[in-house]
Amino acid sequence: MSRTWRIVIIALVLMLAGLVFLRGPTPHITLKPETLQSFGSVNVTNTMITSWIVVILMVGGVFLMTRRWELVPRGAQNVLEAILEGFYNVVTGIAGEKNGRRFFPAVATIFFFVLFANWLSLTPVFNVIGLGEEGEGGFVMKQVDVGPIPLTYTTFSRPGHWKGETIDEKDPQAAQKVEAEKEKGNFVGELKPFLRSVNTDLNTPLALAIMSAIFVEFWGISTLGFGTYGRKFVNLGGVFRGLRHLSFGEIFQGGIDAFVGVLEFISETVRLVSFTFRLFGNMFAGEVVILMFTFLFPLIVTLPFYALEILVGVMQAFIFATLTLVFGMMAVAHGGAHAEEAEAAGHVPEAAQT
């Protein structure tokens, strides 16, 4: 028997073994992150915990890799410097040396945070370990006491029992079934995982999109000045000049300029929405695909989707960071255009005055 056929047979055996013996209950998928603990009006969610872990691991990793900083890098320091230098060259290749050095800290922070958060969520501790919350339906879990700590866990499938047990809340006999399971010493409810990908919580991509927009506007304002850059959105100078000269042509052109400013403002707002839902949609969809294929075929078949999510994690981080960089370049270039207009009209930009 050839090596290829042996690999195929082993893969099929593992697939069937996972299908028969390792399937758990149907995964519960929800858009809203699960609240683990509340302190008054502040809810601590699993995505919030994950974001803290991401930051701590990134800061701790950089500290450990650079705690013995040397002029000639080697080991972990050499790896870190190579990664940063490679991304820096990408940024300066797009924005040029001057703007690249200026934009790099914000763009690199967004890129590496999103990338590390996406990859960390692929580890097997996500969405499987957490707190049990009793309910009128949900997973049927075994309950054991380890000292003073009660633990619950779901059982795997077996021949004749193709998935973990669940009780549908809409079932007319749900209450009776829940009581019957409790009498057996089982736990019925939902799992609130301790860890969940931060980018599957709409709040995190939205926060990143807002920070991206703040940096873009800051770069534009600091390049030209608040007043001159603000004419990108509110440009009524042409209308006023037309009224002063009683020129219908100038009034009409000024009206077009003012309308373009409104479109610019709408574009900035829509950018927040597109940034948010692009990242959220891709990462949430990837998590759902992995959960469902893990439920259907726990072994082998899920592996290609993990590989795909590794690639998607890099792509989404790079797209988010690169679009921030490109929009920053557009803000600076837009400022330069307004500077020329201001000089032609006899105005001095605020940035030049300072």
Residue 306 lies in a domain: yes
Residue 30 lies in a domain: no
328/320 Cα distance (integer angstroms): 12
CB 157 within 8 A of CB 22: yes
37/203 Cα distance (integer angstroms): 18
φ, ψ for residue 192, nearest 5 deg = -105, 95
In three-state secondary structure terms, 136 is: strand
Q: Is the dihedral of CA 161, 299, 307, 63 positive or negative?
A: positive
Q: How many CB atoms lie within 10 A of CB 349?
A: 20
Number of domains in the chain: 1
**In terms of Cα–Cα distance, which of 75, 55, 350, 82 is closest to 229?**
350
284/202 Cα distance (integer angstroms): 9
DSSP code for 236: -
Domain span at residue 254 reads 198-353
Strand partners, 130: 193
- Tokens representing residue 231 in the block: 């004419």
- Tokens representing residue 307 in the block: 């590989």
CB 277 within 8 A of CB 204: no
In three-state secondary structure terms, 31 is: coil
Residue that has been written with the tokens 């500077």 in this structure: 339
Give the pLDDT score at 158. 63
Helix and strand numbers (H, E) in the chain are 10, 6
Strand partners, 158: 161
Question: pLDDT digit of tens for each residue in the chain (354 aa)?
Answer: 678 888 778 877 877 777 666 766 667 788 889 888 888 888 999 999 999 999 999 999 888 888 877 777 777 888 888 999 999 999 999 999 999 999 999 999 999 999 999 999 999 888 888 888 887 877 788 777 777 767 777 776 666 565 667 777 888 888 888 888 888 888 888 888 889 999 999 999 999 999 999 999 999 888 878 877 777 777 777 766 776 777 777 777 777 777 777 888 888 889 999 999 999 999 999 999 888 888 777 777 788 888 999 999 999 999 999 999 999 998 888 544 444 554 444 444 444 443
Give the pLDDT score at 239. 66
**In terms of Cα–Cα distance, which of 217, 252, 227 is closest to 238?**
252
Residue 179 lies in a domain: no
φ, ψ for residue 161, nearest 5 deg = -140, 90
Residue 65 lies in a domain: no
Residue 215 lies in a domain: yes
**In terms of Cα–Cα distance, which of 146, 145, 147, 150 is closest to 132?**
150
- Tokens representing residue 144 in the block: 């054991």
Q: Is the dihedral of CA 52, 53, 57, 63 positive or negative?
A: positive
Residue 314 lies in a domain: yes
Give the pLDDT score at 111. 96
- Tokens representing residue 152 in the block: 């619950």
CB 188 within 8 A of CB 134: yes
